[in-house]
Structure 1
Amino acid sequence: MAFGIPAAQRPEHVPVERVIDFDIYAVQVDDGEYQAQISRQLHAPGAPDIFWTPQNGGHWVTARADLIDEVLADPQRFSSRRISVIEAMNPTPPFAPLQIDPPDHAQYRKLLGLAMSPLAVKALGDQARALAIELIEGFKAKGECEFIGDFAAHLPIAIFMSMVDLPAEDRPQLLDIAESLVRSDSLMDVMQGNQRLAAYTLQKISERRSKPGNDLISQLLAAEVGGKPMDDMTLLGMVDLFLLAGLDTVASMMGFFARYLALNAGFRQRLAAEPESIARAVEELLRRFPIANLARQVIDDCTLGGVSLRGGDLVLLPTAAFGLDERRFERPEAVELERKSKINATFGGGAHRCLGSMLARVELRIFLEEWLARIPDFQLRPGAELSVHSGAVAAIRQLPLVWDVD
């Protein structure tokens, strides 16, 4: 990250002193400590609270929690129609309701919200617990596992498959698609993954049209927006959003949680001895290890943090800059169960705050409860190098864990 470098194609409204060469998609991390790496770059002495980078077509970057809060809370100035600063990374068709601005987004959000009711989340949590136990018991006696592939990736995709009533034999296919979408650095892989997922989802939509059931796809097919049924493209965006949001957020968060526990025996042992503290631990770990790199598009000319923005400008919101902002949190890199404020931006904010955040918290809590009850002491495999993919979300590609077997 280099300061004060004037971009060759710097827009005229961008001051030279606000130009910094920073690429969120090229952050190099070899120890898994992605969030601290982002924070140390964006919060370096002399770094502006908001700056312009020429990378990825040119866009603004917000480096502080108060500015991220301001952008997320103001859809009148900042639209979510673009959720990535890279044009090709924006879904086609758009994800509803995520890429629809208020007030129109509310009718789509209400439809998905029914699937996230407290009663529905409790039932899904029971399924998650059963699967977590089954997975852990399946490799516990081996004394090792590759945490991402053997555990973390399975839980959210199984819950999604339950919600839309997909056959269990389709899980390997969806896991393979998800791998290319969530943990690949190749734009071509991501685009091909999106095409494969779209083809799969459209096939399931067609099947439910001819033979509806009680699943989420069937419920959406029967619903109306503005007095009319939704077309297949709108349904495609809604269903794929549900799948990818779970995979991006839950599986990736589990990876960072497990890495921290493997490296911090005292914290791990406390949670194992005091399972009643696990719910508080989830909130603090969410604050400490945010993974989302959100984006918004400026609707009309405005100012943010004392800087003039033009309509059409893109703004990147790295949530790691929120969770580790020393202006918002004392000792931000420390994980402290007793921390009073654990507010985080991992699930976004404002009108578009993640609908599935309650289910995600349940899955994360269940993971910690069932894992620590069965494997309370574990470590990283000696010599393991932890590569992190930095995209719309950050994800540890592989996390080899080992433990003693009695």
Structure 2
Amino acid sequence: MTDDLQVPVPPHVPDHLVRDFDFNHVPGADEDVYGAWRQLQDGPEIFWTPRHGGHWVVTRAEDVELVQTDYERFSHEVMTLPRNAKPLRTPPIQYDPPQHGGYRKVLNRAFSPRVVAGLQQDLRDLATSLIEGFAERGECEFVSEFARHLPIVIFLRMVDLPMEHRELFLGWAEAAVRSPDATAKRAAYQQAIDYLSEVISERSENPGDDLISMVIAGVVDGRPLDHDEVLGMCTLLFVGGLDTVAGMISFIAMFLAENSSHRRQLIESPEMIPQAIDELLRRHGMSNTVRLITRDTELQGLQLKKGELIMVPISLHGLDDRRWVDPLTVDFTRDTRGHATFGTGPHRCPGAGLARAEIRAFLEEWLQRIPDFSIKPGEKVETVTGSVNGVRRLVLTWPTPSLDTVRHC
């Protein structure tokens, strides 16, 4: 059954701020995820929806930043709708400071600049191999043939999990972050948990130099992590590592397929790529999670009650014209400092450096080999929303002589 549980509107919620909004089914999201989300900024800055047990939604960058950083009032303890979607707590993201910091240190080692630098050649080699596998064909289904390979193969190498189970893992991750069915979402988490629990037990007996073994050996406040803490942390890595970057790369590929002038900028001035990546990240925010309100409080003159949930759509931060001039326009010279795509404050994504490295490898290797590409005529792009925005299908096409031209330059 689709999770669309509706509850009565609480008496403290003004009638004019009630909207029948379901983040799993944002009108128009199958055509344009970001255009669909941005429609919310035409209404109240904060509103209440009775869907998914009832929750608040903020729509402006100022409030997104406030809710993300004010963890004393807006806790990360609950981040997913429905409330019981996760069968266990996943550190460090579901812990607030000071507890958060100890768990965060365990992961920082795995995503340090030194570790990311050591992966650069693997990323480039893999990107090149994938591209050359279909370049002469003149088209590809980008999501399944590239985006769901590059970051995911690297992640599976980091955690030393079998490549042959990739599609199974991807199915669990997709359902966990995007299924509108509450039962299916929880079941997907549970399948991942059951699988990882066995892996953790085996690695505890026979540790290696992989990321899971590193988490098992982690120490917080002078004590080793217990089984549930290790399992929660590995589940977080598993779901995040298998979905988010693949989605971001797909949105970027879709944008560049539709905007040849931006492609030419990056081809003619490749030194712009690092700055361009942050602008593309700003424009394509991914997550739409919630926070738990820890005490009765006021926000924008509204009374929020302890125990209620409030949604923080990162999608809307980068689209807010009060925060960004002409936000829908991608400008590679824009000052993007302060974009919230990786989060803000102490909970900022520890894998941000690796994500940037993966996007950079994609851009540099792809644009060198396939400089001119577009969405194949007659093929519909399939985009989706949910806890994380995503692209399900993106068929790209290009003139095959472009490959030969580049090879002989």
Specify the alignment match of 1:130 in structure 2. Answer: 125
Q: Does structure 1 retain, via aligned residues, the 8 Å contact 2:29–2:384?
A: no
The one-letter amino acid of 1:211's match is N
Q: Give yes or no for the alignment of 1:93 onto 2:88.
A: yes
Cα deviation, 1:169-217, whole Å, max 9, x if unaligned, reads 3334323433443554444443332222112211211111111111222
Q: Say which of 37, 40, 43 aligns to 1:42.
A: 40
Q: Say which of 86, 100, 108 aligns to 1:105.
A: 100
Distance in 2, matches of 1:288 and 1:243, equals 25
Specify the alignment match of 2:51 in structure 1. Answer: 55
Superposition map of 1:218-297 within 5 A:
218-297=213-292
The one-letter amino acid of 1:35's match is Y
Q: Give yes or no for the alignment of 1:65 onto 2:61.
A: yes
When residues 171 and 22 of structure 1 are mapped into structure 2, their CA distance, relative to the original with a 3 A threshold, is: closer
Distance in 2, matches of 1:131 and 1:199, equals 30
- Greater mean deviation of Cα atoms: 124-133 or 136-145: 124-133
* Displacement after TM superposition at 1:358 (Å): 1.1
Q: Say which of 335, 340, 356 aligns to 1:340.
A: 335
Distance in 2, matches of 1:135 and 1:61, equals 40
Q: Does structure 1 retain, via aligned residues, the 8 Å contact 2:141–2:394?
A: yes
Q: Among all aligned residue pairs of Structure 1 and Structure 2, give the percentage whose two residues are the same amino acid.
A: 44
- Greater mean deviation of Cα atoms: 121-130 or 388-397: 121-130
Q: Secondary structure at the match of 1:52?
A: strand
Specify the alignment match of 2:386 in structure 1. Answer: 391
Q: Does structure 2 retain, via aligned residues, the 8 Å contact 1:32–1:396?
A: no
* Displacement after TM superposition at 1:162 (Å): 1.8
- Greater mean deviation of Cα atoms: 271-280 or 167-176: 167-176
Q: Does structure 1 retain, via aligned residues, the 8 Å contact 2:29–2:35?
A: no
TM-score, normalization by structure 1: 0.93
Cα deviation, 1:26-47, whole Å, max 9, x if unaligned, reads 11336642112211x2111xx2
Cα deviation, 1:60-82, whole Å, max 9, x if unaligned, reads 00010001111111111110011
Q: Say which of 131, 141, 144 aligns to 2:139.
A: 144
The one-letter amino acid of 1:328's match is R
Q: Secondary structure at the match of 1:24?
A: coil
Q: Secondary structure at the match of 1:191?
A: helix
Superposition map of 1:167-206 within 5 A:
167-182=162-177, 184-206=179-201
Distance in 2, matches of 1:398 and 1:126, equals 28
Q: Secondary structure at the match of 1:106?
A: helix
Unpaired stretches in structure 2, ≥5 consecutive residues: 1-5, 402-409
TM-score, normalization by structure 2: 0.92
* Displacement after TM superposition at 1:338 (Å): 1.6
- Greater mean deviation of Cα atoms: 180-189 or 67-76: 180-189
* Displacement after TM superposition at 1:231 (Å): 2.2
RMSD: 1.8
Number of residue pairs the alignment of both structures matches: 396
* Displacement after TM superposition at 1:284 (Å): 0.7
Specify the alignment match of 1:3 in structure 2. Answer: none
